[in-house]
Amino acid sequence: MKGLLMIAVYSILLSLSMSSARARQHNGTRSVTLIFDSINFTAHIVPLLQKKCSPCHFEGGKMYGKMPFDRVATLIIHQAGILKRFSNENEKALLDKFIHVHTAK
């Protein structure tokens, strides 16, 4: 009887630990997705582009008609050239993540 009780307790503990690991794995995946989805073009990307590419590629600038950097499509089309102009690895990574998410859809 004591052996049967020990097996039952062990089975319950094993089951609980496995379901907890699955929940952690699922939540980890979900949080990564939320980070990618939470990069906002207007709030996060445009300020980076303004810092490097203003005034020419923004409204009123001489290049705005050909390459308006306040549009997602322009960033996607000219991603290689735009990324080359950023030396800060954090800024470059943010731009790259944004581009990756929006080209994967």
Instruction: Assess contact for 26 and 81: CB atoms under 8 A.
Output: no
What phi and psi, each to the nearest 5 degrees, are found at residue 96? -60, -45
Domain containing 1 equals: 1-38
Q: What is the average pLDDT across 54-70?
A: 96
55 and 98 in a single domain? The answer is yes
What pTM value is reported for the model? 0.63
Pairwise pLDDT comparison (21 vs 73), residue with the higher score: 73
Same domain, 29 and 80: no
- Residues 47, 12 share a domain: no
Statement to judge: residues 95 and 47 lie in one domain: yes
Same structural domain for residues 60 and 97? yes
For residue 6, what pLDDT is reported?
A: 54
> Which residue pairs, CB below 8 angstroms and at least 24 apart, start in 74-82?
75/41, 75/45, 75/49, 75/99, 76/102, 76/103, 82/49, 82/53
What domain count does the chain have? Answer: 2
59 and 45 belong to one structural domain: yes
Higher pLDDT, 22 or 49: 49
Shared domain check, 98 and 50: yes
